[in-house]
Amino acid sequence: MVIDQGALFRGGKEREIRSKIINEDLVEAVILLPEKLFYNTQAPGAILIFNKSKPQERRGKILFINASNEYKPHPEVKKLNILGEDNIDKITKAYREFTEIPSFSRIVPIEEVRKYDYNLNVTLYVTPMGEEESIDLVSEWEELKKIEQERQELMNKVNHIMNEITKALGE
């Protein structure tokens, strides 16, 4: 089923429906699609895959696939994207093999989804590559010390100039 991304996490009746289908272990996978795939909205959609007869190894689990970066620009319509064959192959392979790929797919136990109040927002479980910024704390500290030393040197120069101006005005 293709749905609006908001249906994955909104409260009210949508949360109630999610809790029932999750507790009955009907959701096999949730796939977050890229933005601008549909003519009527720029928002990303999502695919919910239901399975009443999950294989034993998939029971009690949901596969989350973050395919938000799997697209190509539409060849004719500037404001749209498309799924290329390679994008579709990557998504379907991850689903068929029910596999975890860092920053792309993750198998999540239903207990964890319950812990997040039946929230099926894919980005809660799978963060795509590039969204996490790594910081080299040692080099940042060294840079900060260097900037502080330069600031202190400039303050010394300004103080020296101000002292010279004060002396000149006082004479």
The band of 160, judged by pLDDT with boundaries at 50, 70 and 90, is very high
The letter for the amino acid at 45 is G
**Tell me, what's the pLDDT at 39?**
80
**Tell me, what's the pLDDT at 140?**
83
The band of 138, judged by pLDDT with boundaries at 50, 70 and 90, is confident
User: What would the pLDDT profile of 79-137 be if each residue is shown by its tens digit?
Assistant: 898 899 999 999 999 999 999 999 999 999 999 999 999 999 999 999 876 544 567 77
Q: Residue 10's Cα: distance from chain center in Å?
A: 18
CB-CB contact of 113 with 126 (8 Å): no
Whose CA is closest to 61, among 111, 99, 118?
Answer: 111
Query: Across the chain, what does the average pLDDT equal?
Result: 90
User: What would the pLDDT profile of 17-63 be if each residue is shown by its tens digit?
Assistant: 999 999 999 999 999 999 988 887 778 889 999 999 999 999 999 99
**Tell me, what's the pLDDT at 102?**
93
Name the fold adopted by 2-125.
Rossmann fold (3.40.50)
Half-sphere exposure of 27 (CA within 13 A, CB side): 28
Locate 127 and state its tokens. Answer: 């963060």
Domain positions in the chain: 2-125, 135-171
Please, which residues bridge with residue 82 across strands?
A: 72
Residue 54: CB partners within 8 Å, gap ≥ 6?
Answer: 25, 28
CB-CB contact of 74 with 82 (8 Å): yes
